[in-house]
Structure 1
Amino acid sequence: MTDYRRFYIPGSTWFYTVNLAERRDNNLLVERIDLLREAFRYVKRRRPFTMEAIIVMPDHLHCIWTLPPGDADYSTRWSLIKSRFSRALPAGERVSASRAKRRERGVWQRRFWAHLLISQDDFNAHFDYIHWNPVKHGYVQKVAEWPYSSFHRFVALGIYPINWGHSGRFGIRPTEYPE
């Protein structure tokens, strides 16, 4: 078994990728977006963090969080989000023998990917990547067409123009566009 080692830095900002266990032809996260939102709200009330950006795709999600000063425990937060969401679903997904032995559901991949954001450029690149993701995966032609995204909040705040992320413009920071 692979020996994963995570490091924890209080108050840091992280980019995450979290996947469903069965990704092929699975639309669970957008079909049950209400349950996913509730799971995030539940955990944020108990273990606060700042959600900097998020994209929810049918079978995975990406987000950026900043943890509170003195707090580095993102793993517990993810465990709580995943378990809260899973418990709200009716059983029926495929469960592997190893998961059944541990009495686990088969909703999420056990692990998640975490990347410490170390600079503003690193943050900006991941921020753009999050919002570009539905275009990258071919779900929409324009970033603004995907409803399960923090992109719309950043348009309202004037950070992104509404037409960002189409016509080959990905990779250019929104502030570089002419008005």
Structure 2
Amino acid sequence: MGRKYQIVNDEYFYFLTFTTVYWLDIFSREIYSQILIDSLRYCQREKGLKIGAFCVMPSHVHFIWGCQEQGTLSGIIRDFKKYTSNRILKEIQLHPQERRREWLLWMRERAAKKNSRNKNYQFWQQHNHPIELNTNDKIDSRLHYIHNNPVEAGLVYEATAWKYSSASAYAGRESLLDLIYLT
């Protein structure tokens, strides 16, 4: 991986996207989105994660993330992805109303067989494509992209209407997470 897409300076915030394998719509279910939010709260409280923005889409999540200590953002990413992967897969296996259970598990098992890093199941795609946000123009561009993603996807008419997004917080309304405002 080239230096362009690595976390090299924890002084800056980074734009990150985590995508489920095969772009499967996992976060169309409230229970799985809530697992993400709970994990983010934990990372803020216990690991020093700073969240500048977020948007949970049905098959992927966008973030602007930073951290309080040098050298820890990559570790937070690793731990967050590992925990959410295991927790959501466990919920899929145990949830009695998940009609897609067998298919979802089969797809994740199929993805794991193609990746030597996984034993049984793979939930997230491997790459994060971190982009260092070291200028105001980059911050503004990514913030706009994140908040308008549900609108562009045709899920809502205005960004502040999407529940699992920081757009409402930037508009002065309540948010699901504590945010560091970037503008």
1:19-75 CA deviation, whole Å, 9 max, x = no partner?
11121xx3312411111112212223332121011111000111111222x513322
Kindly report which structure 2 residues correspond to 1:61-100, keeping only aligned pairs within 5 A, or say none: 61-68=61-68, 70-89=69-88, 90=90, 91=93, 92-94=105-107, 95=109, 96=111, 97-99=113-115
Amino acid at match of 2:84: F
Following TM superposition, the consecutive aligned residue runs of length 4 or more in structure 1 with deviations greater than 6 angstroms are none
How far did residue 4 of structure 1 move?
4.9
Number of the residue aligned with 2:41: 41
* 1:1-179 superposed matches below 5 A: 3-5=1-3, 6-23=6-23, 26-31=24-29, 32-68=32-68, 70-89=69-88, 90=90, 91=93, 92-94=105-107, 95=109, 96=111, 97-99=113-115, 102-103=118-119, 105-156=121-172
Name the CA shift for 1:120/1:100 in 2 (closer, same or farther; >3 Å): closer
| 1:115-166 Cα shifts (integer Å, max 9, x gaps) | 0012112111111111011111121222122111101111126xxxxxxxxx
Q: Is the alpha carbon distance of 1:12 and 1:103 closer, same or farther for their aligned partners in structure 2, counting shifts above 3 Å?
A: same
Aligned length: 153
- Which segments of 5 or more consecutive residues in structure 1 lack a partner in the other structure? 158-174
Instruction: Please say if residues 148 and 159 of structure 2, whose CA atoms lie closer than 8 Å, have aligned partners that are also in contact.
Output: yes
2:100 is aligned to none
What SS does structure 2 have at the residue aligned with 1:29?
coil
Instruction: State the shift of 1:111 in Å.
Output: 1.4
Could you tell me which amino acid in structure 2 is paired with residue 105 of structure 1? Y
Q: Which runs of 5+ in 2 are unaligned?
A: 94-104, 174-182
| Structure 1 residue 113 displacement after superposition | 1.3
In structure 1, distance between residues paired with 2:45 and 2:75? 14
**RMSD (CA atoms):** 2.2
Name which structure has the greater RCO, CA cutoff 8 Å, separation 6+.
2
Q: 1:154 to 1:142 in 2, by over 3 A?
A: same
Structure number with higher helix proportion:
2
Percent identity over the alignment? 23
- Distance in 1, matches of 2:163 and 2:126, equals 27
SS in 1 for 2:61: strand
Could you tell me the TM-score, scaled by structure 1's length? Answer: 0.75
**Offset at 1:7?**
4.0
